[in-house]
Amino acid sequence: MSTTAIAGPARQAEAGATPPKKRALPYRTISWVVPVLLLLAWELACRAGLIAANVLPAPSSVGTTAWHLTETGELPRHLWESLKRAAIGFAIGASLGLVLGVLTGFSRLFESIIDRNIQIVRAIPFLAILPLVMVWFGVGESGRYFLVALGTLFPVYLNTVLGIRQVDPKLLEMGRVVGLSRLDLIRAAILPGALPSILLGVRLALTNAWLALVIAETVGAPAGIGFMATNAREFLQTDVIVLVIVLYALIGLTTDLIARGLERRFLAWHPNYYGGKK
Protein backbone atom coordinates (compact mmCIF):
# COMPACT_ATOMS: atom_id res chain seq x y z
CA MET A 1 0.00 0.00 0.00
CA SER A 2 1.36 3.44 -0.91
CA THR A 3 2.25 6.08 1.64
CA THR A 4 -0.21 8.47 -0.04
CA ALA A 5 -3.15 6.13 0.69
CA ILE A 6 -2.11 5.92 4.33
CA ALA A 7 -1.45 9.63 4.70
CA GLY A 8 -4.94 10.62 3.46
CA PRO A 9 -6.92 9.30 6.47
CA ALA A 10 -4.13 10.46 8.80
CA ARG A 11 -4.48 14.04 7.56
CA GLN A 12 -8.28 13.88 8.06
CA ALA A 13 -7.78 12.69 11.64
CA GLU A 14 -5.27 15.48 12.28
CA ALA A 15 -7.73 18.04 10.86
CA GLY A 16 -10.39 16.85 13.29
CA ALA A 17 -12.66 15.27 10.68
CA THR A 18 -15.26 12.90 12.12
CA PRO A 19 -16.77 9.92 10.34
CA PRO A 20 -20.38 10.38 9.20
CA LYS A 21 -22.92 9.47 11.85
CA LYS A 22 -25.46 6.76 11.24
CA ARG A 23 -28.92 8.27 10.89
CA ALA A 24 -31.33 7.19 13.63
CA LEU A 25 -34.70 5.81 12.67
CA PRO A 26 -37.60 8.26 13.20
CA TYR A 27 -39.27 6.12 15.84
CA ARG A 28 -41.76 8.82 16.86
CA THR A 29 -42.89 9.25 13.27
CA ILE A 30 -43.22 5.49 12.81
CA SER A 31 -45.39 5.23 15.94
CA TRP A 32 -47.92 7.60 14.31
CA VAL A 33 -47.62 6.33 10.73
CA VAL A 34 -48.59 2.75 11.62
CA PRO A 35 -52.07 3.66 13.06
CA VAL A 36 -52.72 5.90 10.04
CA LEU A 37 -51.88 3.04 7.69
CA LEU A 38 -54.20 0.72 9.62
CA LEU A 39 -57.04 3.25 9.31
CA LEU A 40 -56.35 3.56 5.59
CA ALA A 41 -56.43 -0.23 5.15
CA TRP A 42 -59.70 -0.36 7.12
CA GLU A 43 -61.24 2.32 4.87
CA LEU A 44 -60.13 0.58 1.68
CA ALA A 45 -61.43 -2.79 2.88
CA CYS A 46 -64.84 -1.28 3.61
CA ARG A 47 -65.02 0.52 0.26
CA ALA A 48 -64.03 -2.69 -1.57
CA GLY A 49 -66.89 -4.56 0.12
CA LEU A 50 -64.63 -6.87 2.10
CA ILE A 51 -66.23 -5.67 5.34
CA ALA A 52 -69.99 -5.15 5.56
CA ALA A 53 -71.12 -1.71 6.78
CA ASN A 54 -73.49 -3.21 9.35
CA VAL A 55 -70.62 -5.25 10.81
CA LEU A 56 -67.89 -2.60 10.86
CA PRO A 57 -68.52 0.79 9.24
CA ALA A 58 -65.73 2.64 7.46
CA PRO A 59 -63.74 5.32 9.31
CA SER A 60 -65.23 7.96 7.00
CA SER A 61 -68.73 6.87 8.05
CA VAL A 62 -67.76 7.03 11.71
CA GLY A 63 -66.30 10.50 11.14
CA THR A 64 -69.52 11.66 9.47
CA THR A 65 -71.53 10.38 12.44
CA ALA A 66 -69.20 12.19 14.85
CA TRP A 67 -69.59 15.44 12.90
CA HIS A 68 -73.38 15.14 12.88
CA LEU A 69 -73.56 14.42 16.62
CA THR A 70 -71.21 17.34 17.28
CA GLU A 71 -73.39 19.71 15.26
CA THR A 72 -76.48 18.69 17.22
CA GLY A 73 -74.60 19.12 20.51
CA GLU A 74 -75.23 15.53 21.57
CA LEU A 75 -71.63 14.34 21.43
CA PRO A 76 -70.11 17.26 23.42
CA ARG A 77 -72.77 16.83 26.11
CA HIS A 78 -72.14 13.12 26.56
CA LEU A 79 -68.37 13.60 26.37
CA TRP A 80 -68.44 16.30 29.04
CA GLU A 81 -70.46 14.11 31.41
CA SER A 82 -67.99 11.25 31.05
CA LEU A 83 -64.95 13.49 31.47
CA LYS A 84 -66.46 15.03 34.61
CA ARG A 85 -67.18 11.64 36.18
CA ALA A 86 -63.74 10.30 35.32
CA ALA A 87 -61.98 13.40 36.68
CA ILE A 88 -63.87 13.48 39.98
CA GLY A 89 -63.59 9.73 40.54
CA PHE A 90 -59.89 9.75 39.64
CA ALA A 91 -59.14 12.65 41.98
CA ILE A 92 -60.86 10.88 44.89
CA GLY A 93 -59.40 7.42 44.22
CA ALA A 94 -55.85 8.53 43.39
CA SER A 95 -55.66 10.81 46.45
CA LEU A 96 -56.94 8.07 48.74
CA GLY A 97 -54.62 5.50 47.18
CA LEU A 98 -51.62 7.79 47.62
CA VAL A 99 -52.38 8.48 51.28
CA LEU A 100 -53.01 4.81 52.11
CA GLY A 101 -49.92 3.78 50.14
CA VAL A 102 -47.70 6.20 52.03
CA LEU A 103 -49.09 5.05 55.38
CA THR A 104 -48.62 1.39 54.47
CA GLY A 105 -45.18 1.95 53.00
CA PHE A 106 -43.84 3.67 56.11
CA SER A 107 -45.60 1.76 58.86
CA ARG A 108 -45.88 -1.97 59.53
CA LEU A 109 -48.81 -1.21 61.83
CA PHE A 110 -50.78 0.50 59.06
CA GLU A 111 -49.81 -2.31 56.70
CA SER A 112 -51.35 -4.87 59.03
CA ILE A 113 -54.51 -2.75 59.30
CA ILE A 114 -54.93 -1.65 55.68
CA ASP A 115 -53.19 -3.95 53.23
CA ARG A 116 -55.11 -7.19 53.74
CA ASN A 117 -58.47 -5.44 53.40
CA ILE A 118 -57.45 -3.64 50.23
CA GLN A 119 -56.20 -6.88 48.67
CA ILE A 120 -59.55 -8.55 49.44
CA VAL A 121 -61.56 -5.71 47.88
CA ARG A 122 -59.20 -5.57 44.88
CA ALA A 123 -59.97 -9.20 44.07
CA ILE A 124 -63.70 -8.49 43.69
CA PRO A 125 -64.75 -7.87 40.04
CA PHE A 126 -66.64 -4.67 39.25
CA LEU A 127 -69.59 -6.59 37.83
CA ALA A 128 -69.91 -8.52 41.09
CA ILE A 129 -70.00 -5.39 43.23
CA LEU A 130 -72.22 -3.40 40.85
CA PRO A 131 -75.59 -4.58 42.28
CA LEU A 132 -74.47 -3.67 45.80
CA VAL A 133 -73.32 -0.23 44.61
CA MET A 134 -76.76 0.34 43.09
CA VAL A 135 -78.37 -0.58 46.40
CA TRP A 136 -76.08 1.79 48.29
CA PHE A 137 -76.16 4.78 45.93
CA GLY A 138 -79.11 4.12 43.63
CA VAL A 139 -78.72 5.22 40.01
CA GLY A 140 -77.33 8.65 40.87
CA GLU A 141 -73.89 10.10 40.20
CA SER A 142 -72.46 9.06 43.58
CA GLY A 143 -72.33 5.40 42.58
CA ARG A 144 -70.45 6.22 39.38
CA TYR A 145 -67.92 8.34 41.26
CA PHE A 146 -67.52 5.48 43.72
CA LEU A 147 -66.78 2.90 41.00
CA VAL A 148 -64.25 5.13 39.25
CA ALA A 149 -62.57 5.99 42.55
CA LEU A 150 -62.42 2.32 43.47
CA GLY A 151 -60.81 1.45 40.15
CA THR A 152 -58.15 4.16 40.44
CA LEU A 153 -57.32 3.55 44.11
CA PHE A 154 -55.65 0.15 43.69
CA PRO A 155 -52.89 0.91 41.14
CA VAL A 156 -51.86 4.12 42.93
CA TYR A 157 -51.85 2.36 46.30
CA LEU A 158 -49.87 -0.69 45.13
CA ASN A 159 -47.26 1.30 43.22
CA THR A 160 -46.82 3.80 46.04
CA VAL A 161 -46.12 1.01 48.53
CA LEU A 162 -43.81 -0.71 46.04
CA GLY A 163 -41.92 2.50 45.31
CA ILE A 164 -41.33 3.28 49.00
CA ARG A 165 -40.21 -0.27 49.80
CA GLN A 166 -37.79 -0.37 46.84
CA VAL A 167 -35.79 2.73 47.74
CA ASP A 168 -32.08 1.84 47.85
CA PRO A 169 -31.09 1.09 51.50
CA LYS A 170 -27.63 2.50 50.83
CA LEU A 171 -29.21 5.85 49.99
CA LEU A 172 -31.09 5.82 53.30
CA GLU A 173 -27.93 4.91 55.20
CA MET A 174 -26.06 7.76 53.55
CA GLY A 175 -28.82 10.15 54.58
CA ARG A 176 -28.55 9.03 58.17
CA VAL A 177 -24.76 9.37 58.11
CA VAL A 178 -24.94 13.01 56.97
CA GLY A 179 -27.38 13.71 59.79
CA LEU A 180 -30.73 14.07 57.99
CA SER A 181 -33.79 13.94 60.21
CA ARG A 182 -36.54 11.43 59.43
CA LEU A 183 -38.70 14.11 57.79
CA ASP A 184 -35.78 15.38 55.68
CA LEU A 185 -34.90 11.81 54.74
CA ILE A 186 -38.44 11.20 53.54
CA ARG A 187 -38.55 14.44 51.58
CA ALA A 188 -35.04 14.25 50.09
CA ALA A 189 -34.59 10.52 49.46
CA ILE A 190 -37.60 8.26 49.95
CA LEU A 191 -40.33 10.15 48.09
CA PRO A 192 -38.10 11.09 45.10
CA GLY A 193 -36.93 7.48 44.94
CA ALA A 194 -40.52 6.24 44.97
CA LEU A 195 -41.74 8.81 42.43
CA PRO A 196 -41.17 6.68 39.28
CA SER A 197 -43.32 3.91 40.73
CA ILE A 198 -45.99 6.37 41.89
CA LEU A 199 -46.24 7.95 38.44
CA LEU A 200 -46.55 4.49 36.91
CA GLY A 201 -49.47 3.91 39.26
CA VAL A 202 -51.03 7.16 38.03
CA ARG A 203 -50.77 5.98 34.42
CA LEU A 204 -52.43 2.67 35.27
CA ALA A 205 -55.08 4.47 37.32
CA LEU A 206 -56.00 6.69 34.38
CA THR A 207 -56.65 3.57 32.31
CA ASN A 208 -58.65 1.94 35.10
CA ALA A 209 -60.74 5.08 35.48
CA TRP A 210 -62.15 4.67 32.00
CA LEU A 211 -62.62 0.92 32.38
CA ALA A 212 -64.64 1.52 35.54
CA LEU A 213 -66.59 4.32 33.88
CA VAL A 214 -67.65 2.04 31.03
CA ILE A 215 -69.32 -0.24 33.57
CA ALA A 216 -70.73 2.63 35.62
CA GLU A 217 -72.35 4.38 32.65
CA THR A 218 -74.04 1.31 31.21
CA VAL A 219 -76.44 1.08 34.17
CA GLY A 220 -78.99 3.84 34.59
CA ALA A 221 -76.84 6.71 33.33
CA PRO A 222 -78.90 9.48 31.67
CA ALA A 223 -75.89 10.74 29.70
CA GLY A 224 -72.28 9.88 28.94
CA ILE A 225 -70.27 7.92 26.41
CA GLY A 226 -71.29 4.62 27.99
CA PHE A 227 -74.94 5.68 27.70
CA MET A 228 -74.35 6.38 24.00
CA ALA A 229 -72.94 2.87 23.50
CA THR A 230 -75.84 1.21 25.34
CA ASN A 231 -78.41 3.23 23.44
CA ALA A 232 -76.70 2.50 20.08
CA ARG A 233 -76.64 -1.22 20.87
CA GLU A 234 -80.41 -1.21 21.35
CA PHE A 235 -80.94 0.36 17.90
CA LEU A 236 -78.08 -1.52 16.17
CA GLN A 237 -76.21 1.71 15.36
CA THR A 238 -72.80 0.21 14.70
CA ASP A 239 -71.35 3.55 13.57
CA VAL A 240 -72.13 5.08 16.98
CA ILE A 241 -70.74 2.02 18.78
CA VAL A 242 -67.48 2.26 16.83
CA LEU A 243 -67.41 6.02 17.48
CA VAL A 244 -67.62 5.38 21.23
CA ILE A 245 -64.76 2.85 21.00
CA VAL A 246 -62.66 5.39 19.08
CA LEU A 247 -63.44 8.05 21.68
CA TYR A 248 -62.32 5.77 24.49
CA ALA A 249 -59.10 5.04 22.58
CA LEU A 250 -58.41 8.74 21.92
CA ILE A 251 -59.13 9.69 25.53
CA GLY A 252 -56.90 6.89 26.77
CA LEU A 253 -54.11 8.04 24.44
CA THR A 254 -54.50 11.65 25.58
CA THR A 255 -54.42 10.77 29.28
CA ASP A 256 -51.36 8.59 28.72
CA LEU A 257 -49.60 11.50 26.99
CA ILE A 258 -50.48 13.69 29.98
CA ALA A 259 -49.00 11.09 32.33
CA ARG A 260 -45.84 10.93 30.20
CA GLY A 261 -45.64 14.71 30.41
CA LEU A 262 -45.73 14.46 34.19
CA GLU A 263 -42.90 11.93 34.03
CA ARG A 264 -40.84 14.32 31.92
CA ARG A 265 -41.53 17.15 34.33
CA PHE A 266 -40.90 15.37 37.62
CA LEU A 267 -38.30 12.79 36.57
CA ALA A 268 -36.03 14.98 34.47
CA TRP A 269 -33.31 14.41 37.08
CA HIS A 270 -33.52 10.61 36.87
CA PRO A 271 -30.79 8.98 34.71
CA ASN A 272 -33.17 6.23 33.58
CA TYR A 273 -35.81 8.71 32.40
CA TYR A 274 -34.88 10.87 29.40
CA GLY A 275 -31.20 10.62 30.23
CA GLY A 276 -31.48 12.98 33.15
CA LYS A 277 -31.96 15.89 30.74
CA LYS A 278 -34.62 18.54 31.13
Would the pLDDT of 177 be above 80?
A: no
Decide if 203 contacts 254 (C-beta within 8 A). Answer: no
Q: What pTM value is reported for the model? A: 0.77
Would the pLDDT of 116 be above 50?
A: yes
The segment with the largest mean pLDDT, out of 81-90, 131-140, 222-231, 266-275, is 81-90
Would the pLDDT of 77 be above 60?
A: yes
Quote the pLDDT of residue 122. Answer: 87
Quote the pLDDT of residue 123. Answer: 87
Quote the pLDDT of residue 152. Answer: 92
Would the pLDDT of 64 be above 70?
A: yes
CA 88, 94, 96: angle at the middle one, nearest 5?
100
Would the pLDDT of 19 be above 70?
A: no
Quickly state the pLDDT bin for 153 (edges 50, 70, 90): very high
Would the pLDDT of 278 be above 50?
A: no
Would the pLDDT of 25 be above 80?
A: no
| C-alpha closest to that of 154 among 232, 100, 91, 81 | 100
Quickly state the pLDDT bin for 254 (edges 50, 70, 90): confident
Quickly state the pLDDT bin for 149 (edges 50, 70, 90): very high
Query: What is the overall mean pLDDT for the chain?
Result: 80
Burial class (CB in 10 A: 0-12, 13-18, 19+), 34: exposed
Quote the pLDDT of residue 124. Answer: 85
Quote the pLDDT of residue 276. Answer: 45
* Three-state SS annotation for 205-242: HHHHHHHHHHHHHCCCCCCCHHHHHHHHHHCCCHHHHH
Average pLDDT over residues 195-210: 87
Average pLDDT over residues 141-166: 89
